[in-house]
Each structure stands twice: as structure tokens, then as C-alpha cells.
Amino acid sequence: MIIVNSNSTDNTTSEENFSTSKDRVKQVFSGIAGDYDRVNEFISFGQIGRWRRALLSEIDLKDGQRVLDLGCGTGMLTREIVNSLRSGEVVGVDLSPEMINQGVKEGNCTEDLKVEFKVGDATSLDFATGYFDVVTSAFMLRNVESLTSAVSEMRRVVKPGGRVVTLELAKPKLATFRTIYLSYFNHILPWMGKLLHGRRDPYCHLTTSLKKFPDQDELKQLFERAGLQEVSYKELTFGIAAIHSGVK
Ligand SMILES: C[S@@+](CC[C@H](N)C(=O)[O-])C[C@H]1O[C@@H](n2cnc3c(N)ncnc32)[C@H](O)[C@@H]1O
């Protein structure tokens, strides 16, 4: 796999409702990169792999496609995308070089399948308009400084008829289940972080980002406002996570 470090320009503001500071997010993920996959597996009770596979099945990849995985992190989803294709182009982009470097261990490029990891900002991408067949992201949207800019950029770089498909934590609609779930996030998770990782703050970031993030219906509306069509979502594990999909 090839890593190309590119410096992107920051042209976003932090005035939106669902804003998260980019520097803070980069610092959080760079700080936990070494433990990220192990801890995630634990705190999601082993569900995270199943959710990524559900996303992959929703994307329904075809050989020859160009696919962009935004907020690729250690590349868990990117590698599944690569393993699903015999030809095409797969690009993983993440704000944190430490997250990317944690995952990149071996070469996967073949003559027919180009694989590349780049450092970059999902809200300001340096790809040509309409370059990709599919743009995807798993658990990134909750972290971006400007959600509107990120979804607009996803739409911009996908070709007409191409798809934007995202996986993100969501808010269960069933009141009792939602209460239990939010208590887990608010009270138990930061302490689990302390136990597993020695620090509470990255897991407080998880809690705060989830609180600020729109629910499933609001995110669907945001996709529609960004100009995506046929927007729909599918809930996973009683609405703990959701896959949103839209067509350009
Ligand atoms: C929760 S992790 C998810 C990683 C990976 N997609 C997965 O499924 O495990 C979120 C990732 O999004 C990245 N990220 C946050 N804001 C970003 C931005 N504006 N542009 C690109 N990546 C971003 C973080 O650095 C982090 O690696």
C-alpha cells in the first residue's frame, strides 16, 4: 500500500450546530492510534466488525470501481473493500497520519487494483469532481468539524449516479433502550477507557460527539439538503448504528 502525505487547507468554520474542532479530533485519534482497534472491538461488544460488513454489503462493490474511504483510520474497512475487488482503485483518507500508519503494514497493490492511503481532510478534498464511483465512511462523520462540508465534499467527488454510503453511531428510537445506551456512553464508557487505555478523555470525546450528532432522520435530511437523491437509512443493532445511503 502506498502512503502519500498531503497537506489540506482548512477552510471550514466551527459555527455549525454539530461542530467538532479539527485539531482536537486529530489529537484524540493520533493519541489512541495504537490501541484503537482493540479497544473498539471491546467497547462495541464485538459488533463493530459486523457493522462494517453490513456497510460493505450495502455498498455492493463492482470490479473496476473507484472507491474512497474517508476517515479510514487504521484501514479496517479499506482493507475489506480492497479484498472485495479484483480491479479498480481504492483510496483511504484520514486526518491522522498515526491512525493510517498503525494500519499500513503490507503492500496490496496489483496491476489491476491500485490502493493508496493519504492524509487529508474530508471537508476539503483534493480529488477531482466526480472521480469516484463510491464514497464511504465508517464512524467519521461524528468527528468532522463541519458535517455539511463533509457531506457536500462526498457528493462532489462522487460521479453522477455514484453513491455516498456512510456508517455512523445513531440514536436508538426505543425510549428504554435509548436510556440504557446513553447511560453506557455517559457513565460507563469513560471509565472503561480509563481501565483499558489509562485515559478517560478520548472516550469523553466519543460521548460528546455522539450527543452533538444528528439522529438518523436529521442525517437523512442533511444528505438530502446536500443534493443527494434516493436517500435512505438502515438501522443496525436496535438503532445503535445506522447506514445512510444516497445517490448523486
Ligand atoms: C472513529 S474513527 C473510524 C476509523 C475507521 N473508519 C473505522 O471504521 O475504524 C474516525 C476517524 O476519522 C478521522 N477523521 C476525523 N475527522 C476527519 C476529517 N475531517 N477528515 C478525515 N478524517 C477524519 C479520525 O482521524 C479517525 O481516524
Ligand 1 atom with minimal separation from the 26 CA: 25
**Centroid of ligand 1 to alpha carbon of 178 (angstroms):** 25
Answer whether 0.85 is exceeded by the pTM.
yes
| DSSP 8-state secondary structure symbol assigned to residue 187 | I
From CA 121, how far away is CA 25, in angstroms rounded?
A: 11
pLDDT value at position 246? 98
75 lines ligand 1 (CB under 6 A): no
**Centroid of ligand 1 to alpha carbon of 161 (angstroms):** 25
pLDDT value at position 5? 44
Helix (H, G, I), strand (E, B) or coil at 186: helix
From CA 112, how far away is CA 246, in angstroms rounded?
A: 28
Q: Report pLDDT digits (tens) over 142-180.
A: 999 999 999 999 999 999 999 999 999 999 998 888 888
Domains annotated for the chain, with CATH where assigned, are 2-172+214-247 (3.40.50.150)
pLDDT value at position 105? 62
Compute the mean pLDDT over every residue in the chain, rounded to the nearest whole number.
Answer: 86
pLDDT value at position 146? 93
Q: How many CB atoms lie within 10 A of CB 240?
A: 19
User: pLDDT grade, residue 40 (50/70/90)?
Assistant: confident
User: pLDDT grade, residue 107 (50/70/90)?
Assistant: low
Task: Catalogue the E-assigned strands of the chain.
Answer: 2-5, 66-70, 88-94, 113-119, 132-138, 158-169, 229-236, 241-247
Q: How many CB atoms lie within 10 A of CB 183?
A: 11
**Site to substitute for ligand 1 among 21, 44, 94, most atoms within 8 A of C-beta:** 94
Ligand 1 atom with minimal separation from the 78 CA: 6
